Structure 1
Amino acid sequence: MAETIILEASKREVTGKQVKQLRANGVIPGTLYGPTFEPISLQVNGLELRSVLIQAGGSHLIQLSMGGEMHNALVRSVQRDPIRGHVLHVDFYRVRMDVAIRTEIPVITIGDKVALEKAGLILIHEMGTVEIECLPGDLPAEIRIDVSALRTAGDTILAAQLPAFEGVTYHVDPDAVVVYATSATQREAEEEEAPASVEPELIRRRPTDEEEE
């Protein structure tokens, strides 16, 4: 189980355009919701939230301390200013410690990557995250895979080779490639053969009251 992170929060009374003033004061609006749980409008310190997002991402269990109560939660979504990247709003998903959840966990590579570079090989990540199911208390912070065994172009690590954790079930095709080694020349050939991407038309959505300035 990963170390629990505590974030102080308080109930939020202001809504709509008044939320702009909260952000100007370094306070970020948010919502806490979950199954069989009435959603709560809340607010958190922007600097503290930034630190938590760096540590936790969306896969690390957080304890929200609010009104003398502790709520176990995950960061479910973060809305950011499209230009400046500032956090506008954050959603927390309240979990029950006795009910299993499904979530994405980051995949981290470890091991001797210098040997790969000396051999003229490049490590390609096919999976940045992997979906798992477990009780909230059993959530691993990350999935580490050792790439030291990759020595030649074409060597791969499959999902079936991911490390086992007690109480954790992977929801992924066991034959799916997680990472593989390739040569620089082979990688260039793959990129040249890849079809050109088409830029999607930008669809603008109407901002919510909390996002309006």
Structure 2
Amino acid sequence: MSHIKITAKPRLATEKPKAIRRQGGVPANVISAHQPSLAITLSTKDVQKLLTQGQDSALIYLTIEGSPAEVPVLFDEIQTDGLTGQTLHVAFKQVSLKAKTKAEIPLELVGEISTPNLVLVKVLEFVEIEALPTDLPEKIEVQISGLTEAGQSILLKDLQIDTTKLHLVASEADLDGPVVLLQAPRVEVVEEISTEVVETEVLTAAKPTEAGEASKPSANQKAGADSQSHSSNKA
């Protein structure tokens, strides 16, 4: 695992997060189990460099201005704007280099599927690993070239990791679950509508209209009826 060094500035309580972002910074906190949370400010460029290089699971040595000691930390939480993608806040977890810790490690698919008509489904994006901070990998590779038939999968317990240093944090049921699986593509069945049914519905819908028109008296019939009524009254 690569060791990355970045520098941060102490953040005063009077400094507002929006103002920090406008000035090209990212508000952050260092969380420790043995002392209060430490408020700091990072450079936006440093944060974006870490994220774009896929090093959000890397061990980071943090130097805070005014303090000579380096603080080993891991990313704990990254808050981003859902619309712009801007990093709003970062939370680090301070770790001890001599104590095991837990971290989510991304999975990277390696190889190619030789059967083009099948669909590869990636079930998990991350796995939780427990290890010493210096032993945590940046990623875990999943070799998929061996998948050739629909229904084949790679289970969580089958991941190739150094079990002398790394421990998968998962239940027995989760260990038997798939990380990736190969499926046949779904085929949608479209039902055809019978032409006879459509024509019958049209004719049936037309009959009430014809009957309705037939029940209405014509102009001549109406005139004759009026004439008979007038003659009767005259008599």
Which of the five TM-score ranges fits, normalised by the shorter chain? 0.7 to 0.9
Q: Offset of 1:57 from its aligned partner?
A: 4.8
- Greater relative CO, 1 or 2 (CA 8 Å, sep 6+): 1
2:63 to 62, 65, 80: 65
Contact 1:5–1:63 (CA under 8 A) maintained in structure 2:
yes
TM-score normalised by L of structure 1: 0.79
Which residue is equivalent to 1:175? Answer: 176
Which residue is equivalent to 1:143? Answer: 140
Instruction: Structure 1: give runs of 5+ residues left out of the alignment.
Output: 190-213
Contact 1:159–1:178 (CA under 8 A) maintained in structure 2:
yes
TM-score normalised by L of structure 2: 0.72
Which residue is equivalent to 1:133? Answer: 130
More helix by proportion, 1 or 2? 2
Separation in 1, partners of 2:56, 2:43: 18
Which residue is equivalent to 1:12? Answer: 11
Q: Does 1:155 align with 2:156?
A: no
Which residue is equivalent to 2:218? Answer: none
Separation in 2, partners of 1:147, 1:100: 30
Kindly report the root-mean-square deviation, in angstroms, between the aligned alpha carbons of the 2 structures: 1.9
Instruction: Structure 2: give runs of 5+ residues left out of the alignment.
Output: 190-235
Amino acid at match of 2:150: A
Identity %, equivalent residues: 28
Deviation beyond 4 Å, 4+ runs, structure 1: none
| Higher alpha-carbon deviation: 24-33 or 66-75 | 66-75
1:23 to 11, 15, 21: 21
Q: Offset of 1:65 from its aligned partner?
A: 1.5
Separation in 1, partners of 2:82, 2:111: 36
Separation in 1, partners of 2:31, 2:140: 27
Contact 1:29–1:44 (CA under 8 A) maintained in structure 2:
yes
Separation in 2, partners of 1:37, 1:60: 23
More strand by proportion, 1 or 2? 1
Deviations 1:34-62 (A, max 9, x none): 11133211001111111112235542111
Max Rg structure: 2
1:45 to 31, 43, 46: 43
Deviations 1:54-102 (A, max 9, x none): 2355421111121322111111112223432211211111101111111
Separation in 2, partners of 1:150, 1:19: 49
Q: Number of matched residues?
A: 183
Separation in 2, partners of 1:4, 1:56: 13
